Structures are given as C-alpha cells and as structure tokens.
Structure 1
Amino acid sequence: MNNLSVTKSNSLIDASYQLNVQAQKLVLACLGKIDSRTDIPKEMKITAIEYADLMGIPNARRDLYKAADSLFDAVIILKDEHEEIKLRWIQKSVKKIKGEGAVIITWTDEVVKYISSLQSRFTTYKLRHIAELQSGHSIRLYELLMRFNSTGERVIYLNDFKSSLGLSNKYPQFKELNKFVIKPAVAELNQRSDLTIKYETIKKGRSVAALSFEFKQDNQLKMDI
C-alpha cells in the first residue's frame, strides 16, 4: 500500500460538498501525487494503474471514468459569517485518454488556492488510511476529524456536520441521519482506517444540536474483516 500524504486547506475540509466515493478517491489520489512544497499544477494526469495502486481499487479503469464523469458537475460551497461562495472542482470536463486508461483533470483557479499548503492551517493525512473506505461519508468524516488530530476531540454542530457532507436537505430526523450516515461511517472508520472513534450527542432541549467525537490514531492500520 502506498505511503503518500494528502494536504488540504482546512477551509476546503469544512466546506460543503458531496462526491461519490469514486470521485472523492480520484480527487485524493490526485492530491496524493502533489508535492505540497511545490506549486500545484493546474492540470494533472492520472492513469487507471496509478488510481488502482493509490486507492486499492480492482476495477480501476471503470471507476476512474465514473469518477471523472461525476466530478465536473460537483460544487463546493464555502461559507463564513458574511457570505456563501460556490466553486467548482474542475474547469472543464475531464479528458479521458482511453488508449492509456487515463484522465486529465484541470482544476479551477479557486480550488488550486485551497488544495495544498504546508502552513499550519492545513491538514495532512496518509492516503493509505482512507484507501480501503467504501463510503464517501466515511471519507468526509475522517477529514473532519483529522483537522483536530492534535487534540483527538471535535464538537461539531449538527447543521454544520450535515452541510459538510452535502446533506443539508436530507435526513430531517436525527434518528435517520444517525442510522444511515453517522453509525455506518463511524463503524467503517473503526474497522478500516487508522482511527478509533466514539461519539455522543449534545442536546438543546429535546433535539440533538451537536455531535461530540473522541478519536485516536492507531499506529498499525487495521485490516478489513
């Protein structure tokens, strides 16, 4: 398994977006190829062989093209107290080089500013720690927690959590969100990533207002069972 690292702006990690698991792994595989000490290339090429090696995906060519198709329409929403900005991951449709089993991605100028830096406001994690994950929700939760890996704790308002996973308009009842998103993501991370996680709800009155996560990193990557 590879030992590449992914470095992302914390603004991007806390942004709202929803990508299927193949598209998330395509983005992360591309970021894993970037040396964060150098300028980020506006255009990147990744082959199905690289994709398979980086992410442990057996049907790499099919999944690579599927990920490329979904990435063009994906939107990132960055919010602060003053404004909401919508960005696109890529500037134009991903070019597929079918003879090589490869794709060429052209990042938007806005995303280039966010996706890599060595400054302290950025989060870095090993690509191999998310390569075995089968759920896009699990990958996003991993990123949200790793932003606070120095403390091993994170409290996040429920609305912010749903927004970060692109679920603002879904699962109005917490019990559904918990059953179909939170519990499965935590269970998969406990089984397949380098994190051991437990969480509790924080209530305001009778309603769940926030989630409190405690987590720690294991030195040895867990195996799929």
Structure 2
Amino acid sequence: MEKFSTSSLLNMNNLSVTKSNTLIDASYKLNVQAQKLVLACLGKVDSRKEIPKEMTITALEFSELMGIPNAHRELYLATDALYESTISLREGNNDIELRWIQRKSKKIKGLGSVTITWSDEVLKYISTLQSRFTSYKLRHIAELQSSHSIRLYELLMRFNSTGERIISLKDFKSSLGLSSKYPLFKDLNKWVIKPAVSELNQRSDLIIELETIKKGRTVTALSFTFKQNKQLKLDV
C-alpha cells in the first residue's frame, strides 16, 4: 500500500502525472476535486515501475499537493464521486466502459485518509510506454478551479511537442463528458470553452490561442495553438 512521504510533499514541483493517451482522450466527467484526487495519486507514481493497485492519501497531503481547503470533507466527497464515475473509450473498433476504482474507497476518519483501489482496466492505461503517454507537472494544474480546465490542459499536453491541436467539436464535448449538453455552440463557448482557456492562461503554465473552424456558419472544430511559459506565472 503506497503512502506519500514527507519528501514527496516537499518536492511537489517535481511530481509529474502520466496517463495513457487513450485515457487522455476518453470520455468522462469528474468534478474538480475528484479530478485532483486522481492526479494527486498519479503524481506520485513512477511510470517506469509497476503501478500499485492500492494507494492511500491523507487529507493533509491532498491539501498540500492540490491547494484544497477543508480537505477532509473534500477528500471524502472526491472518493465518493470517483466511485460513481465511469470512463468511456474506444479500443480498436470497440467502445468500452470501465470504472476508475474497483470498490468504494476505505475511509479512515481518525487519520483523515482514504485508500483507493484502481480497477484492473484503468491500471493497464497507466502504463510504462513513454512514447504513448502524456506527462505534465502536477504543480501546473494544482491551482485550477474548474474540471473543464483540467481536462483541456490534458487534451492539449498530449500535443505538447507541436504546440497545436485541432479537435472536432464532437470529440471535444465527448472528452469533457458533455456530449448531451450545450447543443448551441454559443452556450458551450460561453460556459465551457472561454472560461477554461481564460483560467489556463491565468493559472497554468500554458499560453493559449483559440480559433474556430467552420463549415458554412456552423462551428465544427476547435484549433488550439499553445506554448509553455518557461516560468510558471503563479511563481512570479
């Protein structure tokens, strides 16, 4: 069973998150605290080694790693949300649905900690093949307040080597778990896209520009160009 060490907390700037690119582009929707719980756990994993099936994190660690006040309550709520959530992804010609965690998390209230058990299916996507994976520093998303911002950051960082990504509107909405919402682009843009881009420009290490791609008068895709700020803006 894995636990954070004091040295891990002191070296948060060096923690990276690594996910399968298939998982990055999968369709799922988690609230921001559940997203941060997943990322905090993955941030401690050395992707070159075997991934532990069980991982324990305390409220203090969660608070220090992700900048979350009232961390005891948020940690418990995040684990409950994670248990209720599924991931939809495409593997070859097959659409599959899987769970993040195998069973309800064990909560140790006296210690303010939870133990999560990854599902076997998720474990295989948090793997060791670096060429197929996207890594980013945990500190670059720790201050983000929106789950949409975190997902957009992940979608862009998959193409960090080129600094460009074009994604169809359909795939964008699917990745954020919004396929059945915001049928009008103006609403999606107002409530999801613009706020996410704005928050990333303000709070992350990315500088993003966005253009829409249209077929006639209809927006069909989003074209992002981005670069990393060498000095994280939060450190200035």
* TM-score normalised by length of structure 2: 0.93
**1:94 counterpart letter in structure 2:** S
Aligned to 1:59: 70
Q: Percent identity?
A: 74
1:112 & 1:74 partners in 2: Cα distance? 16
Matches of residues 1-80 of structure 1 in structure 2 within 5 Å? Answer: 2-3=12-13, 4-79=15-90
Is 1:161 the counterpart of 2:172 in the alignment? yes
Cα distance, 1:54 vs. partner? 1.0
Cα distance, 1:81 vs. partner? 6.2
1:224 & 1:23 partners in 2: Cα distance? 25
Moved more, 209-218 or 48-57: 48-57
Question: What residue ranges of structure 2 are gaps of 5+ in the alignment?
Answer: 1-10
Matches of residues 76-115 of structure 1 in structure 2 within 5 Å? Answer: 76-79=87-90, 82-115=93-126
Question: What residue ranges of structure 1 are gaps of 5+ in the alignment?
Answer: none
Moved more, 214-223 or 142-151: 214-223
Cα distance, 1:119 vs. partner? 2.1
1:221 & 1:87 partners in 2: Cα distance? 35
**1:174 counterpart letter in structure 2:** F
1:195 & 1:32 partners in 2: Cα distance? 19
Q: Is the 8 A contact 1:192 1:224 kept in 2?
A: no
1:120 & 1:209 partners in 2: Cα distance? 30
Aligned to 1:211: 222
Aligned to 1:134: 145
Q: Is the 8 A contact 1:8 1:117 kept in 2?
A: no
Q: Is the 8 A contact 2:47 2:126 kept in 1?
A: no
- Describe the shift of the 1:159–1:63 C-alpha distance in structure 2 as closer, same or farther (beyond 3 A): same
Number of residues of Structure 1 aligned to a counterpart in Structure 2: 225
Q: For each residue in 1:30-56, what CA deviation from the matched residue of structure 2 results, as whole angstroms up to 9, or x when unmatched? A: 001111121000111011111111111
Is 1:202 the counterpart of 2:204 in the alignment? no
Q: Is the 8 A contact 1:191 1:224 kept in 2?
A: no
Q: RMSD across aligned C-alpha pairs, in angstroms?
A: 1.4
Q: For each residue in 1:82-135, what CA deviation from the matched residue of structure 2 results, as whole angstroms up to 9, or x when unmatched? A: 221000000000110101000000000000001242420100000000000000
4+ residue segments displaced more than 6 Å:
none
